[in-house]
């Protein structure tokens, strides 16, 4: 009997398990642009346009290969608001009682599908390298779930950069050679930019009309929107960007938004690129002598290490993970996260490029916006919703552990062994932001003092009970304790005054 095969917006892969297990002659593929998915957080218009264009082109591709695809466009009069309502509508239309689906990447969607008065057969998402069972087995009985050890398992499983059972080059991790500060110039032209085609232009018009109030601009849309384009972009980056990816992975520059980053997260997460295909391309470049080992290993670790580990944590921790607030932070997200004026140049630049590109790279997310929110004590739920909305690569399975866990320490230390915090010093070392900032990074107190300097000590002081015995933080507390008492009092008073201004909605 005919089944509905649900293909979600982030499941645009030819080898999706639901498609592989369906019958092309008989079953009906259901894809739908629905208001519910587009607005449960106020997604960046570029993210919505990217996904809808990629969905429409993927539906055409499936039709060309013989599938019966029933596609609901957002602008169609009879398109319901939720995925479940679409499935019920299609079930009635074709006389189906069963939905075949690949597990969704978000508890919210998984739970909603369980509510359907239809039989739902859910298959594992085998586009990931580790199964849930493998991650659970690895995690079981461990006191600390550190990514590095999990990563080694993934190297063994995939054979990537392995020589027998040993890592290529004799070391698992070449990070020692990475993390250089901002270079003078960038000799890579950045991500491949694609002209909009008819489908993309059509979608952009719809998104412009319906989501104009969402944060983010639609101007200058250049993302790849199908597998072929995403592959072209990957090849372009492997040639031009990969060789220096490792060296400048943590650098930040005001006028260089992409540096040597791959800008592949959005394509992999939507299903246009397969993570192993990306890693094999990188391994091949290294084998051919076109990329150094620190770049290739560092990049492969991001994908088969961090990406897989982060997903493992999301599914291990369950649906209430996003409600955690271990540090008891309750400040509202400041308006400058939505583009209002701030004098902090690092934050201003990170938010500006987020608004324009739906992209910021890892260190901007972690050590600028994330660092600020954590130091200031912003409610992690609001931080989580911001990150989920504004980045083109954001889906809850990957965004939430990065934000709630890695960035905000709201899970109490499952992912991070200590909070990722820094004073302005780190930002100054890794970027060219501070030179042109209204604040002075060298000033620890006083009217021009960099807010990161003040808030850093304020954070440590207010969370002393929790962190004083963390052996990775002992040094920080020793420096604080050795500081002259008057100076400590001044720092805390000025930090309090800064937080009061923030709370009152004043420009800081």
* Contact residues for ligand DLZ, defined by CB under 6 A: 8-10, 32-34, 37-38, 43, 48, 51, 104-106, 109, 395-396
- Footprint of ligand SF4 on residues 133-172 (CB under 6 A)? none
Tokens of 412: 């109490």
- Footprint of ligand FAD on residues 253-282 (CB under 6 A)? 261-265, 268-269
What string of H, E and C letters represents the secondary structure of 330-387? CECCCHHHHCCCCCCHHHHHHHHHHHHHCCCCHHHHHHHHHHHHHHHCECHHHHHHHH
Is residue 295 within the footprint of ligand FAD (CB under 6 A)? Answer: no
Tokens of 377: 């004590």
Is residue 365 within the footprint of ligand FAD (CB under 6 A)? Answer: yes
Longest dimension (CA), the chain: 79
Residue 399 binds: one of ligand FAD, ligand SF4, ligand DLZ, none (C-beta under 5 to 8 A by kind): ligand FAD
| Four-point Cα dihedral 318, 324, 327, 331, nearest 10 | 150
* Contact residue for ligand SF4 among 58, 409, 439, 456 (CB under 6 A): 439
Exposure string of 81-93, with b = 16+ CB inside 10 Å and e = fewer, is eebbbbbbbbbee
Rounded Cα–Cα distance for residues 309 and 330 (Å):
28
Residue 200 binds: one of ligand FAD, ligand DLZ, ligand SF4, none (C-beta under 5 to 8 A by kind): none
- E-strand stretches of 97-246: 98-102, 119-123, 162-163, 166-167
What residues form DSSP beta bridges with 32? 72
Dihedral of alpha carbons 159, 14, 393, 42, sign:
negative
Is residue 300 within the footprint of ligand FAD (CB under 6 A)? Answer: no
Q: How far is the CB of 409 from ligand FAD (least distance, A)?
A: 11
Q: How many CA atoms lie within 13 A of 155 on its CB side?
A: 25
Residue 9 binds: one of ligand DLZ, ligand FAD, ligand SF4, none (C-beta under 5 to 8 A by kind): ligand DLZ
Nearer to ligand FAD, 86 or 388 (CB): 388
- Footprint of ligand SF4 on residues 3-62 (CB under 6 A)? none
Is residue 381 within the footprint of ligand FAD (CB under 6 A)? Answer: no
Stretch touching ligand FAD by CB under 6 A, among 63-71, 222-230, 347-355, 393-401: 393-401
Tokens of 231: 């592959």
Tokens of 391: 């980045």
Decide if 195 contacts 232 (C-beta within 8 A): no
Residue 310 binds: one of ligand SF4, ligand FAD, ligand DLZ, none (C-beta under 5 to 8 A by kind): ligand FAD
Nearer to ligand SF4, 132 or 355 (CB): 355
How many Cβ atoms from other residues are within 10 Å of residue 147's Cβ?
Answer: 18
The label of the residue with tokens 């690949």 reads 102
- Footprint of ligand SF4 on residues 443-462 (CB under 6 A)? 450-452
Q: How far is the CB of 499 from ligand SF4 (least distance, A)?
A: 15
Nearer to ligand SF4, 303 or 346 (CB): 346
Is residue 321 within the footprint of ligand FAD (CB under 6 A)? Answer: no
* Contact residue for ligand SF4 among 46, 155, 324, 345 (CB under 6 A): 345
Q: How many CA atoms lie within 13 A of 502 on its CB side?
A: 24
Q: Under the rule (CB under 6 A), what is the footprint of ligand SF4?
A: 344-346, 424, 427-428, 433-434, 437, 439, 441, 450-452
Q: Under the rule (CB under 6 A), what is the footprint of ligand FAD?
A: 261-265, 268-269, 299, 302-303, 306-307, 310, 361-362, 365-366, 370, 387, 391, 393-394, 398-399, 402-403, 406-407
């Amino acid at each position: 009997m005919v089944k509905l095969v649900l293909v979600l917006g982030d499941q645009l892969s030819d080898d999706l398990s639901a498609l592989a297990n369906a019958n092309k002659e008989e079953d009906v593929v259901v894809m739908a642009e629905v208001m519910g998915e587009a607005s449960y957080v106020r997604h960046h218009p570029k993210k919505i346009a990217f996904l809808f264009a990629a969905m429409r082109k993927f539906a055409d591709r499936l039709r060309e290969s013989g599938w019966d695809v029933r596609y609901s466009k957002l602008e169609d009069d009879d398109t319901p608001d939720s995925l479940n309502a679409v499935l019920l509508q299609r079930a009635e239309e074709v006389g189906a009682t069963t939905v075949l689906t690949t597990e969704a990447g978000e508890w919210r969607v998984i739970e909603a599908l369980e509510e359907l008065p239809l039989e739902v057969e859910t298959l594992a998402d085998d586009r990931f390298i580790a199964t849930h069972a493998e991650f659970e087995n690895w995690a079981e009985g461990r006191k600390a779930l550190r990514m590095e050890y999990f990563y080694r398992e993934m190297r063994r499983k995939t054979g990537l950069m392995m020589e027998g059972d040993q890592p290529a080059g004799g070391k698992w991790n070449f990070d020692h050679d990475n993390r250089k500060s901002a270079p003078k110039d960038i000799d890579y032209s950045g991500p491949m930019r694609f002209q909009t085609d008819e489908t993309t232009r059509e979608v952009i018009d719809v998104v412009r009309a319906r989501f104009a109030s969402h944060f983010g601009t639609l101007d200058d849309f250049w993302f790849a929107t199908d597998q072929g384009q995403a592959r072209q972009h990957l090849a372009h980056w492997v040639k031009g960007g990969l060789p220096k990816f490792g060296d400048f992975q943590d650098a930040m520059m005001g006028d260089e938004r992409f540096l040597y980053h791959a800008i592949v997260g959005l394509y992999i997460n939507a299903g246009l690129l397969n993570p192993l295909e990306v890693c094999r391309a990188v391994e091949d470049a290294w084998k051919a002598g076109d990329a150094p080992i620190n770049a290739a290993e560092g990049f492969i670790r991001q994908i088969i290490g961090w990406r897989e580990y982060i997903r493992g944590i999301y599914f291990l921790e369950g649906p209430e993970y996003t409600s955690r607030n271990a540090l008891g932070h309750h400040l509202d997200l400041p308006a400058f996260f939505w583009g209002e004026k701030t004098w902090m140049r690092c934050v201003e630049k990170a938010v500006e490029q987020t608004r324009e590109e739906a992209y910021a790279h890892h260190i901007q997310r972690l050590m600028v916006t994330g660092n600020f929110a954590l130091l200031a004590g912003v409610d992690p739920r609001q931080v989580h919703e911001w990150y989920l909305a504004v980045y083109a690569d954001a889906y809850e399975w990957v965004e939430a552990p990065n934000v709630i866990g890695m960035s905000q320490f709201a899970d109490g230390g499952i992912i991070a062994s200590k909070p990722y915090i820094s004073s302005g010093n780190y930002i100054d070392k890794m970027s060219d932001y501070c030179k042109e900032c209204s604040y002075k990074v060298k000033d620890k107190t006083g009217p021009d003092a960099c807010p990161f300097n003040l808030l850093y000590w304020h954070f440590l002081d207010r969370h002393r009970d929790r962190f004083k015995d963390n052996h990775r933080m002992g040094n920080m507390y020793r420096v604080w304790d050795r500081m002259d008492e008057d100076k400590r009092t001044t720092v805390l008073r000025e930090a309090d005054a800064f937080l009061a201004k923030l709370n009152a909605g004043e420009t800081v």
